[in-house]
Structure 1
Amino acid sequence: MKLELRFFASLREALETSQESIDVPSSIKTISDLRSFLVQRGGIWAQALAEGKALRCALNQHMVDFNTVLQEGAEVAFFPPVTGG
């Protein structure tokens, strides 16, 4: 399945990229699966997207939870929780 990934704020800085086109195996069904798949890259990917990290996600520009099922050609965005001040 082909996906468009977007990374924002501190994630973009840590990963040194704001976007990526990726083909994932058919075993990747949810955003949680995708997150685990990206963590397996190791290094900064494992640190930035680690399971204990507070992250938010969006599918096709709509806020969703990590159990959301992926769709072919979808845009998946990851970003840290927003705080104000």
Structure 2
Amino acid sequence: MSESGMSDKAVLSCRNLGKSYEEGPESVVVLSGLQLELHPGERVAIVGTSGSGKSTLLNLLGGLDTPSEGSVWLAGEELSAL
């Protein structure tokens, strides 16, 4: 526990997260090798230009889409196992 009384354990994390889409013979990489840990009480902002993968990241973190590589963890459990 930290001094604030909140657990230091990440409530949401991703490890080596990646997402790509197939467009004909081409593979379009949207996210690659993303590492992220969010702890209780933290606030974050996801910013970037149009088409940079913000919505894709939120869909992956929320379990609405499956990653092409890596994993998302929610409260210590791998999201794909829930």
Whether these two folds match at TM > 0.5 is no
Of Structure 1 and Structure 2, which has the larger fraction of its residues in helix?
Answer: 1
Of Structure 1 and Structure 2, which has the larger fraction of its residues in strand?
Answer: 2
Q: TM-score, normalised by structure 2?
A: 0.34
Q: TM-score, normalised by structure 1?
A: 0.33
